Structure 1
């Protein structure tokens, strides 16, 4: 009994130690500065954060190069994600630099979990304030900034719409967007929209990216990107009878007109050029490495890269001297958003048939124009060895499914080869064309009568029924891609397609700019258009579900059918009730 009790106490002690060690491993003590570059007349926040522990005996760093304007202010936060709790304890100071130069905030220490923790050090670059230059610089600037203004046709260009402000901007409204004539444009969502501090012309600004678009030039020459027009709301104060009153000032901003110089690809273009411009990756797979001349080899070619994927044309993946290459099927062509830009993906499926037996080394290659090296590149990442044996002459594949192009050749006929007893070309009544011409007026009259009756039938139908049919067709058309992903069970692509279909439908219906497609603006637009509150709430709920699926990882393949029906019903009900 005593031995069992000792064993139980030992297990409890070990578990307690294990928990303590696991908790200690998660404890962190870090220092951060809110800016990396600033002026001497500006301020910066310095924060010490202790996670997953309660600290004591805090020893702050010596702020020798700074004035302490406020602090330390203390805050505690607890979060629970997927049932796992975490806590954070923070201390924040508001500092102003005493001099220009690269200033360092040295480490701090704190006691937690019966041990001392030491933070990292932080550096900030401080520039001398020039009141003369700063006085001439505007308080707000709107800029359309491009990754390059000198590109080749088909090359991806990233446009970031950036707002620079030295004031407290509380509202933004884009009034006009460029038409992007001469470009194929694709809006992006995965861009860094966090505020960043920058210094220009002696003035410190908070810069924030409001939107990002990938542009692909479709023609050569000097292309024009028109300005963005925006209204921003800025908090101001004025003295009224000895008291400061807060008010909102509406300020109009416009970006500059920008010119993009687009060049044609260098000539001569190499043989087998796919049309791709950018940087690409090639993946190839085959369904067999041994076959006979009676078989067809299936080869799947996947092209992925940062370029206009629509420009990628099918190319011959093998030597046509040894293989019969049939027109490929395009299994997939899509654009994917990424933090670096738009990624295109195109999948070809080839059917190729050997012309003879033997051992063949297949080395599919993609020829494209690389924008980094400004030269044509041949990409051949992998070789395949296929052994072909002689067949029996009985093919094991369906020629109709290979999409082969047939060629009709007319050859002269020797009169002696015409069978005796047959008459050719003397009796027109024996030809099909004769009877078609004879029956054509009768068929035309019958068609006119049928069309007239059909129009009468439509005129007598219930208008509500016609509206329902029209709405159902609109919903089905909008959600075609989402339905395809639903059948595949591809949850993330499905929710992306549903969100894009709903936003695209609302954008087209209400003529909204891309920047106004937020849930708040959508709700306001629907309400203004006379939509019932129940319909507005359904839109908000479904768009929120899509956001959770795309950005919080809450995707569930079992919910796809319900989400698809909800999206379809939303478009149908909107078509029926909102003008």
Structure 2
């Protein structure tokens, strides 16, 4: 029992030793004059021995520093992460005449004698909002046009082709929001995109155009431009469901104390401005061996053995590390000498997408078998990439590989021998070049009795001609059908929708609400796109309503279909359980069935 306890203590000690220690400042980016808020200094994965407080100007310190400790557990995708924290908290109030709050550098000394520090920082202080106007809006139930804003931003506006850009869609709000509908994200035409996870994103307070907002990242993408010139990120369209609490305008004491008001939902359409990015072409001339890799990389290459027997295998292992356009990188090329037989390349990778770019490691294994003995040299492995930070091409080159292939002594006397010093194309199997005399019954052919020009020959020829023309007719018909894309899509619309609905049902069974409604929207929009032969990206509720009227679709069925789409869009951003998934699923099946009956 003591051994087991000692074992777990040792594991814990090793885990703590390898945990990453950090010391950071946590504070809002902007506050209002006279507002109370907290400033925190957080030490992670270490025990503090001494804390050196910062100088803070522009505030009244109401309390602090107050020390607190905690242990946290995070489980992401089945991976558990334990970490401890020591937090020093100040409760402060911004001065009424302050414009900036300056927070000086702070430091902490841990028990192992190491020092960690934070950098000096500033907080914007904005004038307090006019309470009279806020009370007037509360009574009227209106929302200022700039109370909710949606903005798309990029971290770079001028890049090289293939250089990573981070696009961030951020929501700024001064009021409560219950959900969204009619969400239309940009298509990022001309870019290769990868959406980033938003697990650790927390709301912040920011100064936007001189006003204080609660800011939240809605979506974030890592995009790589694939064309040169001026590329544009299309506008994002979203309808926000803003919650407004209205209050009666009565002035009696009962109104003041007992009228808590009522909540109304106001729809506010939000649209981002298009964002333009200038994409420069890579410098010319491009070096030999460049295949489009852009970023910063290091490479290493090794061979499993430098001495093997003939007919034995080995491999060359190549490892690429760095930050760049990993998804677009081609395999390296290795030219093996004659006498080597190469096989399919094996690839593995550990890649992470973040706001810092696509980073990680990719490994290739090049298996081979040496067939003939001798001394060989395998050329060096080269990797050429473009570094956008310097604007130059860099070439990474490994050493050449010397391989000595020995005679295969494992072959038996009755085995086929390998001739030394020849390539695999020249290998001969000895003992098979002389044939034995055939002793079976011979099959003689009568003189002048040939298949050519016989009755059987003409029958076979006629059959071949008939089959040829039949195949030609079928091929032309098939080409005609495939060229009619609209007809093909219309025929397959129902089966495609049913397949997507089945996938949505599987999400419903496991209770995955968000994925269920996402798949339902794909099924409904995709069905109408295929039926009407219109790209899904070009569809909207207004266009569907016009198409229904133009094509004579039953008005009630059309409105039911549009209502079902709106219900699914709203459910994506509503609390779990607010919409009955089984009811939505059955309505979708029923509506598609009715529309199919009408078409037939």
| TM-score scaled by length of structure 1 | 0.54
* Residue number in structure 2 paired with 1:368: 385
Write out per-residue CA displacement over residues 131-180 of structure 1, whole angstroms, 9 at most, x where no aligned residue. Answer: 89xx9994333111123232333333221111223444454456211122
* Residue number in structure 2 paired with 1:223: 231
Once the two structures are TM-superposed, the CA of residue 184 in structure 1 deviates from its matched residue by 2.3
Cα pair 2:161 2:280 within 8 Å, conserved: yes
Q: Partner of 1:529: helix, strand, or coil?
A: helix
Once the two structures are TM-superposed, the CA of residue 227 in structure 1 deviates from its matched residue by 0.8
Pair 1:194 & 2:192 matched: no
Report the number of matched residues.
423
Once the two structures are TM-superposed, the CA of residue 35 in structure 1 deviates from its matched residue by 2.0
Equivalence map 1:175-190=2 (5 Å): 175-189=183-197
CA distance in 1, matches of 2:43, 2:332: 58
Equivalence map 1:163-562=2 (5 Å): 163-173=171-181, 175-189=183-197, 192-240=200-248, 241-242=250-251, 243=256, 245-247=261-263, 248-292=265-309, 294-303=311-320, 305-318=322-335, 326=342, 328-329=344-345, 331-332=347-348, 336-338=352-354, 340-343=356-359, 347-352=363-368, 357-358=374-375, 360=377, 363-380=380-397, 384-389=401-406, 393=418, 427=452, 435=460, 438=463, 441=466, 508-511=522-525, 520=575, 524=579, 526-530=581-585
| TM-score scaled by length of structure 2 | 0.52
Q: 1:265 to 1:503 in 2, by over 3 A?
A: farther
Cα pair 1:362 1:383 within 8 Å, conserved: yes
Q: Which runs of 5+ in 1 are unaligned?
A: 1-29, 52-59, 108-119, 401-421, 449-466, 480-497, 533-574
Cα pair 1:191 1:212 within 8 Å, conserved: no
Paired residue for 2:168, among 160, 169, 184?
160
Q: 1:531 to 1:165 in 2, by over 3 A?
A: same
Q: 1:504 to 1:221 in 2, by over 3 A?
A: farther
Cα pair 2:26 2:42 within 8 Å, conserved: no
CA distance in 2, matches of 1:280, 1:515: 44
CA distance in 2, matches of 1:143, 1:157: 16
CA distance in 2, matches of 1:93, 1:306: 41
Q: 1:231 to 1:67 in 2, by over 3 A?
A: farther
- Over the aligned positions, Cα root-mean-square deviation in angstroms equals 6.1
Paired residue for 1:34, among 27, 51, 55?
27
Cα pair 2:58 2:100 within 8 Å, conserved: no
CA distance in 2, matches of 1:355, 1:289: 15
Q: 1:272 to 1:340 in 2, by over 3 A?
A: same
Once the two structures are TM-superposed, the CA of residue 223 in structure 1 deviates from its matched residue by 2.0
Q: 1:64 to 1:297 in 2, by over 3 A?
A: closer
Cα pair 1:185 1:214 within 8 Å, conserved: yes
Q: Which runs of 5+ in 2 are unaligned?
A: 1-22, 45-52, 74-79, 107-116, 134-143, 409-416, 426-446, 474-494, 526-564
